[in-house]
Structure 1
Amino acid sequence: MNDAHLHMVVNHFPIIGTILGLGILIASIVFKNNSVKNTAYVLFIVAALFAAFSMATGEGAEEMVEDMPNVGKHIIHEHEEMAEKMALVLYVLGIISLAGLYLNYKNHAKAKLVSFIALTVAFIGVFLAQQTGTTGGEIRHTEIRANSVSADVKQKSVSGEEGESEDKE
């Protein structure tokens, strides 16, 4: 298994784990359930660990695909920049989650405050996860790029330009 393959295996969990963790954390706050809250914290910690694995395999994956047709270094650089921001936020969220687990275990008065801090950071993490996933998907899935060929073809067919050329033949 090469770095590109490893990157593809591990890079989805930081995104999915953060989204699921946010949903579970919201449910735990609504239902005032510390066991469920701890589940969210564990998901955030695992997401942070997988973010570290993703970052570690990203450079090797970049080396393998940067010279492929329709990829280019610019699109990879955008993904790398977004991934670095996301990883940093997930590392912070992982540390907050460790503190939350500890404070819940000790029934500390600040446990509720930490859960709201985690909630805020998790929202930021989910936003960055969406951006990172999109920029990562754009590397090999050219059809989702804003300036993709299929988007140009759709625009032409909607405006009727393509139909006019068929009539002339």
Structure 2
Amino acid sequence: MNNAHLHMVVNHFPIIGTFFGIGILITGIFLKNNSIKNTAYVLFIVAAIFGAFSMGTGEGAEEMVEDFPNIGKAIIHEHEELAEKFALVLYVTGVFALISLIATVKKFRLAKIFSFITLVLALISGIMSINVGTSGGEIRHTEIRENNAVSVPGNENTPVEKEYKNLEE
């Protein structure tokens, strides 16, 4: 298993886990069921852990594919920037999920407030994950790119490569 394959194996769970966690947490809050909420908290924690794995494998995957035809460094750079921001929010969500889990198990007075904070953070994570997932998919799936620009190494005339060149300057 190479770095690109490993990255593809782990990078889907932070996104999917976040969305499942949101649905489960909303259900737990609506039903006022702590067991259901605890399940969501554990899912957010696991999603944050997989987010760390995904960030750790991203650099190796980048090195393997950045010079492939139709990819280019600009689109990878955009994905990397979005992923770094998403990972930070995901880590904060995971930490608040852990705090919420402890607060719920220990029956702290603020457990309900922590669950709402975790939900808000998870919703922000979910929104950010859409952009990260799309930008990651665009790396190898040129058909989903908004401008369908093809980035070929040595061809600085495509809109994507022009934008990247401006970023470097």
Range class of TM-score, shorter chain? 0.7 to 0.9
Structure 1 unaligned blocks of 5 or more = 150-169
> Partner of 1:18 in structure 2?
18
Mapped pair 1:142 → 2:159: no
Hey, what's the Cα distance between the residues in 2 that align with 1:41 and 1:147?
Answer: 38
Structure 2 unaligned blocks of 5 or more = 150-169
> Partner of 2:38 in structure 1?
38
> Partner of 2:89 in structure 1?
89
* TM-score, normalised relative to structure 1: 0.87
Mapped pair 1:104 → 2:104: yes
Mapped pair 1:76 → 2:109: no
> Partner of 2:66 in structure 1?
66
Hey, what's the Cα distance between the residues in 2 that align with 1:5 and 1:131?
Answer: 21
Shift of 1:90: 0.8
Q: For residues 20-54 of structure 1, give each alpha carbon's deviation from its aligned partner in whole angstroms, at most 9, with x where no partner exists.
A: 00010111111000000000000000000000000
Q: Which stretches of structure 1, 4 residues or more, deviate above 3 A after TM superposition? A: none
Q: Which has the higher mean CA deviation after the structures are superposed, 106-115 or 140-149?
A: 140-149
Shift of 1:93: 0.6
Give 1:152-167 correspondences, 5 Å limit.
Answer: none
Q: Which amino acid in the other structure matches residue 101 of structure 1?
A: L
Q: For residues 3-28 of structure 1, give each alpha carbon's deviation from its aligned partner in whole angstroms, at most 9, with x where no partner exists.
A: 10000000000000000000101111
Give the aligned length: 150
Q: Which amino acid in the other structure matches residue 7 of structure 1?
A: H
Q: Which amino acid in the other structure matches residue 138 of structure 2?
A: E
Q: For residues 64-115 of structure 1, give each alpha carbon's deviation from its aligned partner in whole angstroms, at most 9, with x where no partner exists.
A: 0000011010000010011101110110011001101110011111000000
* TM-score, normalised relative to structure 2: 0.87
Q: Which amino acid in the other structure matches residue 4 of structure 2?
A: A
Shift of 1:148: 1.3
Q: For residues 106-129 of structure 1, give each alpha carbon's deviation from its aligned partner in whole angstroms, at most 9, with x where no partner exists.
A: 111100000000010001000011
